[in-house]
Amino acid sequence: MNLIKEIHNELGTAHSLPEFGAGDTVAVTYKIKEGDKERLQVFQGIVIQKRGGNNTPTETFTVRKMSGTVGVERIFPMASPFIEEVKVMKKGKVRRARIFYQRERTGKSARIKDKRRF
């Protein structure tokens, strides 16, 4: 167990990301390597889950977006060196930590209410 803790401490988090959770709309900018070239691509969608412990290298989050009529999900590791930045576009108000019910919804029923700020 101590060896695992040492590796976790060694890896740590590569960069600090903003605070977000399930139901939030985020834009994730990440690097794509094609041969010897690199480019940045933005994946914008709703966070449907966060997994793993707090600030551990194994922590991941899943983002879902609709591309036409097809739903596309992508899992991002929090400590990935390929993530350039994460922007929180909207804070959503949901009652669950994992909102997989979004997969079956389309149109108006798939909307998530915005969080009220006081």
Q: What is the CATH number of the domain that holds 61?
A: 2.30.30.790
Asked if the structure places residue 102 within a domain, the reply is: no
**Tokens 């966070």 correspond to what residue?**
47
Asked if the structure places residue 71 within a domain, the reply is: yes
Asked if the structure places residue 13 within a domain, the reply is: yes
Its domain, for residue 49, covers 2-95
| 0.75 surpassed by pTM | yes
Tens digits of per-residue pLDDT, 51-79?
987 777 788 999 999 998 899 999 999 88
Average pLDDT score over residue span 26-47 = 95
